[in-house]
Structure 1
Amino acid sequence: MLNRRDFLKLIFKGAILGNFYQLITPPLAQAIAAGDVKKLPVVMIEAGTCTGDSISLDNIWTPAFSDVLSNLVDWRYDWVMNQVQGDEVYQILQETYEKLPNEYILLIQGAMIQSGRGHYNHIAYEKGKLITGIELIRRLGIKAKYIVAIGSCAAFGGPASGYPNPAQATGVQNILTERRVINVSGCPAHPDWIIGTLLHLALYGEPELDGYGRPKLFYRETIHNQCPRRHYYDQGIFATDIGQKECLYRVGCKGPVTYADCPTRRWNDRFNWPIGCNTPCIGCTEPGFPDLMSPFSLHSPDIPSPGGTKVTTDSVGLGVLGLTSAAIVGHTAASLYKGRIQRNMLNSTVRQKHRLTLKKVKTFHHYRVKKP
């Protein structure tokens, strides 16, 4: 069986080479054949969502990897993929809950709809009663071995919780407050992030998480740090309009405050990604998306220099080889590490979008990972 170190190497190698499934499938097949892997039961519940994460997940169902899903994971319930309907499929869900406590993984996509005591989001019918998303997810979450929120709506509320949020939509962690939730954010989440997290849970247990409950496997670095256009930023060469090949920071790119490995992993069968299509990153993996990241084409706040003055994007790169540049780069690195740039950017966007108050920004802390 793969050890955890080798698994992590394959994850990162797959991101760089774009062949995650080809790399991971052979050793997993060997482990399955040797009986070293126990299939984990999985139930997928969809709450207030557009089903985008299911569509994203479907995009990786090649014949080779579908074999991994059928052998490594016991996919028991998912209303999009169910082969049966009505009472028959609901009985499978009930049996999983009753007979496999603390064994199954609960996958959730979609925001938790709180308005009207949850009755704007019915997802089941039991004994003549409509069951709300919040009710069923609370019930299943109590006995789940792991809880994984996939997509930004399930992780942080996402577009469903956008201003003025009449549905009172929120993330799963704010409902299952007594449990730790693993957040695989994104709008939608990349299929690698979803399956990679499931594989880690099946083989090694819970992955290392960042401060917002996201697996560091995929959310360790900012888009900015990995961006192939970073050299343009360092030289102060910026696009003046969307569609141009230079750094898109001045036309709204949120890469400096967005954690994900999109530049190396890419989308659409590793073919492309937003910046590769000459459009800015919109920060879809971050808490508060989309409100705190929009307008998406709005230029982000300039970086404060160590002396307290503002360093505009026009002047970045003018002293790249000098001490001034070194000081700015050092301060920028420290600011990124401490979250200062992120807070500045988000605070500025809040003031320009819907006149949200600074108190709104503090809701980020509600999504901090729950300690065991």
Structure 2
Amino acid sequence: MSLLGPQITDALAEMADGKPPVIWLQGASCTGCSVSLLNSVEPPIEKVLLDVISLRYHPNVSAASGHDVVHVLEEVAAKHRDNFFLVVEGGIPLGEKGHYCTIAEKNGKHLTILDAVAKMGEAAKAVIAAGSCASFGGIPAARPNPTSVVGVSHVVKNKPVINIGNCPMHPDHFLGTVVYVLTYGELPELDKYNRPKMFYPMPIHDNCPRRPMFEANQFALQPGQEGCLALLGCKGFIAMSDCPKRKWNGGTNWCIDAGAPCQACSEPEFPDDVSPLYGWMPVKGKLEAFTK
């Protein structure tokens, strides 16, 4: 069950009459963030989509697609200027003037995600970059990045962009951010990467259940062993996220509980600068001394 479930449900119920328009666009992505949101347990995602927000377009949920969508985007941008939310999932390819990623057609020409985000972003009240790819480029921007993918903030300059990191994003992080903005009429406090501090408060290492093993110099040398996972590639020392407390899939599990090292998917460095994924990283001299 979501840690924010009751609070989100009550807040959304109070705001249901307003039903802020929401446009959800997808760029260079795997659709994983949409799947993560649709797996939201509390509040049920159908309540959010049907009773709370006015979801005008989502490429996986909406019936319309292609050229039939363009008029919806233009209508929302015109009628609800500065009063709708734009959610962007996936990175934005800049190469070939954006033609590596098209989402619809208009007057016989392709509408690129680059053009759509640029236009819709400037008309929106705020933009939510849903997931690592939209926030920082993510896997689509990994070297050599042949399509020149960037995060949303490289395209939208004059409106606030809230980055919801992680790969995929956590549904609580998204819903909690939307509720905060709608409840208080302002952005939540953001960190230096424009992520809500309430969901990215400290490094995962600080609250890791295996932290005592790290302090005791007990390190796992193979997957499945007891011990700190630093030598197996854990990047929890630099990853800012509340995963240890919130967990995933309705609070069922998370990477380290499942025996997998943290890959710092919440960070701008993911994936290039935290690779190899199963290669250890030096931490204040402790691991170098241990491995000598």
**Which of the five TM-score ranges fits, normalised by the shorter chain?**
over 0.9
TM-superposed deviation, 1:314: 5.1
Question: Which blocks of at least 5 consecutive residues in structure 2 are unaligned?
Answer: none
Question: Residue type matched to 1:153 in 2?
Answer: C
Partner of 2:50: 70
Shift of 1:68: 3.6
- What is the identity, as a one-letter code, of the residue corresponding to 2:115? E
Q: 2:272 aligns with which of 273, 278, 291?
A: 291
| Larger CA Rg, structure 1 vs 2 | 1
SS in structure 2 at match of 1:148: strand
1:60 positional shift: 1.0
In structure 2, the CA distance between the partners of 1:69 and 1:244, relative to structure 1 (3 Å rule), is: same
Task: Flag structure 1 segments of 5+ consecutive residues without an equivalent.
Answer: 1-16, 304-309, 317-372
Residue correspondences, number: 290
Q: Deviations over 1:319-356 (max 9, x none)?
A: xxxxxxxxxxxxxxxxxxxxxxxxxxxxxxxxxxxxxx
Structure 2 CA distance for partners of 1:170 and 1:107, relative to 1, 3 Å: same
3-state secondary structure, aligned to 1:276: coil
2:140 is matched with 160
TM-score for the superposition, normalised by structure 2: 0.93
Where does residue 126 of structure 2 map in the other structure?
146
Q: CA deviation at 1:146?
A: 0.3
Matched, 1:207 2:191: no
- CA apart distance, 1:83: 2.7
1:252 aligns with 2:233: yes
Instruction: Name the structure 1 match of 2:281.
Output: 300
- Taking the aligned partners of 2:157 and 2:10, their CA distance within structure 1 comes to 39
What is the Cα deviation at residue 201 of structure 1?
1.6
How far apart, in 2, do the equivalents of 1:44 and 1:65 lie? 15
User: Which residue is 2:217 aligned to?
Assistant: 236
Higher relative CO (CA 8 A, sep ≥ 6), structure 1 or 2? 2
| Rounded Cα–Cα distance in structure 2 between residues aligned with 1:254 and 1:187 | 14
Structure-2 separation of matches of 1:114 and 1:311:
42
Q: Do the aligned residues in 2 keep the contact of 1:112 with 1:172 (CA within 8 Å)?
A: yes
Query: Is residue 4–residue 176 contact of structure 2 (8 Å, CA) maintained in 1?
Result: no
Is 1:25 aligned with 2:5?
A: no
Q: How does 1:309-348 map to 2 (within 5 A)?
A: 310-312=285-287
Moved more, 173-182 or 268-277: 173-182
Q: Structure 1 length as normaliser, TM-score?
A: 0.73
Other-structure match for 1:343 = none
Deviations 1:239-285 (A, max 9, x none): 11222221101211000100001111001121100100111000101
CA 1:18–1:86 in 2, change beyond 3 Å: closer, same or farther? Answer: closer
Asked if structure 1 preserves the Cα contact closer than 8 Å seen for 2:263 and 2:277, the reply is yes
Q: For 1:188 and 1:128, locate their aligned partners in 2 and report how far apart those are by CA, in whole Å.
A: 34
Distance 1:96 1:61, change over 3 A: farther
State yes or no: 1:58 paired with 2:42.
no
Contact 2:8-2:175 within 8 A present in 1 as well: no
Whole-Å separation in 2 of the counterparts to 1:260 and 1:98: 37
- Give the counterpart of 2:84 among 104, 107, 119: 104
Summarize deviations over 1:221-251 as a string: whole Å, max 9, x none.
1111111111111111111122222110121
Aligned residue identity for 1:251? L
Q: Letter of the aligned partner of 2:232 in structure 1?
A: V
Match of residue 95 from structure 1: 75
| Superposed displacement of residue 302, structure 1 | 3.5
Structure with more helix by fraction: 1
Aligned equivalents of 1:48, 1:112: Cα separation in 2: 6
Q: Using the alignment, how far apart are the partners of 2:95 and 2:12 within structure 1?
A: 44
How many angstroms apart in 1 are the aligned matches of 2:286 and 2:198?
33
Aligned-residue identity in percent: 37
